[in-house]
A and B are shown apart, each in its own frame.
Chain A
């Protein structure tokens, strides 16, 4: 055991420098998107008791649905459940184009997912936790939201829709 310094071939050294630069570029791009452009991932919002979240009259998910908080701004409380028949409540939401909607989604049983097709809204729905994400619907149309986590044999039929009217 004599050597102290590592011998690095010149090509390999250049390759490592190239790799490092590339990683810095990627990290910068991701950071700019996250902190400069505000494309963010979900953050802890609220914790609930999954055993009572769908029934407790004080829980917004005992009466899930859309609430208009100010003109063009909505809160959508959505309950995901596998029991009895793998669905979201409500199954359908209608908002006018240009609406900014904050989704508050939780589960009263197993883990689910929530993916609004053709948008950046895509997150896990866990019992005991509330997942929140806000998006603006700039184009009219029907946006399906579908379950993206295995939640039992009915997982493949679990979906709903947001209808954005012109």
Chain B
């Protein structure tokens, strides 16, 4: 059966998302290893002085480009592909999506100018009263609004499909992609309100001050679900694509996959206080409620672990794999897309354990803002997400461009070096964090570093060096593929794993939007409403801005 064909224009549109994403990753990833090297005592920042004024300007570039730009652009491109391909129909209103994309591009440029001019060295959390140039906030706003507009284009496309197919189960990949875009629309309200009601007018001189505690609360309203916005696209690939690539396997359970996505939608926003356990202005009872809801969101993660592993086992056994674990060896490890995603999944296991640790209310007292935290999120966003996206790009780029993947063996090596580099880096960061090392500090220069941290800081540098090589390998493979003269003979097959059980047997309530959306909004109002009401009622715009970099 011939697969559904995207038009050349659609492929170009999705490809432009990838282009911006990978450019952002290329620049942003230059600075990651510089941070790691600094920790090990090899400080290159003095040599960069003409361009980059400080460690923190580099850290801002790294965080903004890698955590915000690379992810958002890759995700919007991937979701657009998923929706159009799985629904077998073009975008309902392609102009709308193009407008969204260009708003995002203009936003990135607007934010990049002050960052590169050292006028927005506020890190990717931009906590006020650190005050960046207004263009930084305008840029962030445009990126968010652009991603909304692209999301609306996807919703319209889905609605158009639903109208013509009222009694058909929505394809899982399209369903899950729409849900991810919807989650993003809900959760970004926090940061939108933060910027539009406080930071932007303040940076323009229209208001004198801000309320830092309220700003943090708005920020983390968005900040945690942001994590799920990153993760869910990787989950879509792990659930519904990877089993096919790994050995022609099927997705273990369509209905439970959908159920877990619904739980993610409902639970990923109303738990932002688990980033604010040690904030002075949030009542502990709400912190505790959010911690319990965070435990709740661990449940669909456990379901995901089961379904993904079961689907992979199906693939492994289909390839003649035997035994309790020996089937793992039969998976298609020589395919770089498979290797990257399997290795990403393995490290995510540890990332999940660390995440649950962070979420554990008072346990957070020993971890908050220590190096444990970046150690943790380099397993999640920088590996589970980023390495999976790299894996996806190993088939998506050849599919979009019609050019063969350049040197798949190098691509496999890229996946393994990322895996190994990240184990060394992240393990050392976790341990030195438990010993008390703070995050966001050039530890190579800090006056209070005890000798017992040194061996771990050295490992941070070694891990960073391996990751640097891996990042360079990735960019080489991408560039060489984009320019590859060798074309694919037939259009690259899009990996789509069927469900083991006919999705038509999935219950209706797992394919209805309204109750779940109302449910998630209601829960947000319930567990954020009273605190936000109090904070806004007692708002004190008493913090003027500071430029301390």
Given contacts A3-B505, A15-B306, contact A153 B446 (CB under 8 A): no
Contacts of B302 in A (CB 8 A): 15-16, 19
User: Interface-forming stretch among B1-9, B190-198, B514-522, B540-548?
Assistant: B540-548
- Interface flag for A110 (CB, 8 Å): yes
CA–CA, A6 to B307, complex, Å? 15
User: Interface-forming stretch among B102-110, B340-348, B386-394, B433-441?
Assistant: B433-441
- Chain B min CB distance to A163 (Å): 14
Let me know if A45 and B508 touch, CB within 8 A. Answer: no
- Interface flag for B310 (CB, 8 Å): yes
Cβ-closest 6 pairs across A and B: A152-B548, A148-B369, A19-B302, A123-B278, A131-B280, A129-B280
Q: What per-residue 1/0 map shows which CB atoms of A98-141 lie under 8 Å from chain B? A: 00000000000111010101101111111111111000000000
CA–CA, A89 to B167, complex, Å? 68
CA–CA, A81 to B183, complex, Å? 38
Let me know if A23 and B540 touch, CB within 8 A. Answer: no
Contacts of B283 in A (CB 8 A): 43-44
Contacts of A144 in B (CB 8 A): 448
For chain B, which range describes its interface: under 10, 10 to 19, 20 to 34, or 35 or more residues?
Answer: 35 or more
CA–CA, A54 to B26, complex, Å? 45
Let me know if B280 and A6 touch, CB within 8 A. Answer: no
- Interface flag for B504 (CB, 8 Å): yes
Which of A7, A41, A152 lies in contact with B549, CB distance below 8 A?
A152
User: Interface-forming stretch among A32-40, A61-69, A72-80?
Assistant: A32-40
Contacts of B127 in A (CB 8 A): 110-111, 149-150
Let me know if A27 and B259 touch, CB within 8 A. Answer: no
Given contacts A19-B302, A110-B548, contact A120 B280 (CB under 8 A): no
Q: What per-residue 1/0 map shows which CB atoms of B488-514 lie under 8 Å from chain A? A: 000000000000010011111011000
Which of B129, B255, B540, B548 lies in contact with A154, CB distance below 8 A?
B548
Let me know if A12 and B306 touch, CB within 8 A. Answer: yes
Let me know if B438 and A113 touch, CB within 8 A. Answer: yes
Q: What per-residue 1/0 map shows which CB atoms of A16-57 lie under 8 Å from chain B? A: 100110010011001101100001111111010111000000
A-B contacts counted at CB < 8 A amount to 225
Let me know if B507 and A6 touch, CB within 8 A. Answer: yes
Contacts of A11 in B (CB 8 A): 306, 310
CA–CA, A120 to B362, complex, Å? 9
- Chain A residue at minimum C-beta to C-beta distance from B440: A150
- Interface flag for B282 (CB, 8 Å): yes
- Interface flag for A8 (CB, 8 Å): yes
- Interface flag for B46 (CB, 8 Å): no
Contacts A41-B365, A148-B370 supplied; 6 other A-B pairs, CB < 8 Å: A6-B510, A34-B361, A47-B538, A122-B369, A152-B56, A156-B445
Q: What per-residue 1/0 map shows which CB atoms of B207-247 lie under 8 Å from chain A? A: 00001110010000000000000000000000000000000
Contacts of B542 in A (CB 8 A): 49-51, 127-128
